[in-house]
Copies of this chain bind each other. A is one copy, B any other.
Amino acid sequence: MTDARQQHPVIAAGVAGLAGLYRRGDSDPLAVTRFYLDRIAALDGTVGAYNQVLAEQAMVDASASAARRRAGKPLSEIDGAPIAVKANIAVAGAFWHAGIGAYRTRIAQQDADCVARLRAAGAVILGVANMHEGALGATTDNVWFGRTQNPLRDGYTAGGSSGGSAAAVAAGLAAAALGSDTMGSVRIPSAYCGLAGYKPARHVISLDGVIPLSTSLDHVGVHGWTVIDCALIAAHAGAGAATSPSLQGLRLAVPNWRARVEAPDFIWKARDEAATLLLLAGMQRVSADLDAYQSGQARRLGLLVSEVEGLNAHEAQLARSEDGFSPEFLGLLRWGGRQPATRIAAAYQGLDAIRCAGMAWLEQVDAVLLPTAPQTAFPFGQPVPANQADFTALADFIGCPAVAVPFGRSPDGLPLSVQVIGKDPSIVLGVAASLG
């Protein structure tokens, strides 16, 4: 499948573009929502991005949005933007199961805080997006709800855990999507699908109404075609507006992690080319690195914390029955639960040390440029690379803003992505946007 943006101007518009179309009266939220719903009906059987399509409510909301647009009184610049919402984020009246079979009949009684905010800004919720079971994994090959295909290459994973959210946008089945990111679950599928992905700092978008994997590491994030689209949705989901900074003189770290994270040379080359562009744009290279950071070891700490916190999250259900938890997912949770107290404490102590060192690091730089994932999307059936989250997890550990932005293609024609992290959300978004 080619880039969906080439298939229709509505898709190419994205969130920011739709606002322009609406403002100029070149289109309206009702027509755009109908377009997306028709396209979902036609294509999602193949893509598998959605668990549930909320066609009726979406049309009602789109109709109200269209009336506001006609009256010249939109609720915000995203009024009438049709979006998808990951299945662990509550949408009132819709399934809310986090990709776990045990919860497949659970209906959310009210919107998650971020969904309520987006609705109050006029966003139209198209449906519930598929995800990796329990948000613990990055292939979105879900035994209960099916497999989400990578819209750019059939038979390839869209990544995860927010794979349905990313695929919905990349297939042209939503203008943007909400996801969640515990060690990279927004940014990795965005990278695999050729999208931008933005995870604001911790708790900037509320986790109220989000089924937790790890309360210590979970973040809500956004998938969109562009950094601007992600920033617009995030702003109205609770993150607030970002300003547009000048890049002139900002300090850029381009850490040499070749010995830390194994990745093909084209991954590093893309990152280095992106760095060159940023330096040409006036940023200043600084050598500060997070020397003590061992990404593989840190990943194991983050996984252990996610597993045992995941076990706590699903404790009540598991006490009733283990039905509806796959052996793989349950095995990870139970493995965490079997570890000795000292090992669990050491994991928290290790992550705390990373957070403290990371925050000190981010005081010395304005932005850090890293690859987003050590590999491109890969075929289902291929072993899942252990190091998938080795570039992304750090920003979850630190709790700082991070943006993935598409940057070129692999020799094989799959999307590449670079990642900007830092302390200041406006700077992180601004640096990433300048690469988009």
Contact = CB atoms under 8 A, between A and B. Distances in A.
A317 interface: no
Contacts of A352: 215-216
Closest 8 CB pairs of A and B: A308-B345, A344-B344, A348-B348, A341-B344, A339-B341, A308-B341, A215-B349, A337-B341
Interface string A74-110: 0000000000000000000000000000000000000
Nearest to A306: B345
Interface in A21-80: none
Interface in A295-317: 305, 308-309, 311-312, 315
Nearest to A350: B215
19 contacts: A203-B356, A215-B349, A215-B352, A215-B353, A216-B348, A216-B352, A308-B341, A308-B344, A308-B345, A311-B341, A311-B345, A336-B341, A336-B345, A337-B340, A337-B341, A338-B341, A340-B341, A341-B343, A348-B348
Q: Which of A308, A341, A348 has the most C-beta atoms of chain B within 10 angstroms of its own C-beta?
A: A341
Interface of A: 203, 215-216, 305, 308-309, 311-312, 315, 336-346, 348-349, 352-353, 356
Nearest to A333: B342
Copies of this chain held together in the complex:
2
Nearest to A202: B356
* Chain A interface main SS type: helix
Nearest to A360: B203
Q: Which of A338, A339, A348 has the most C-beta atoms of chain B within 10 angstroms of its own C-beta?
A: A348
Nearest to A315: B342
Contacts of A353: 215
A340 B343 CA distance: 11
Q: Which of A203, A336, A338, A346 has the most C-beta atoms of chain B within 10 angstroms of its own C-beta?
A: A346
A342 B308 contact: yes
B342 A345 contact: no
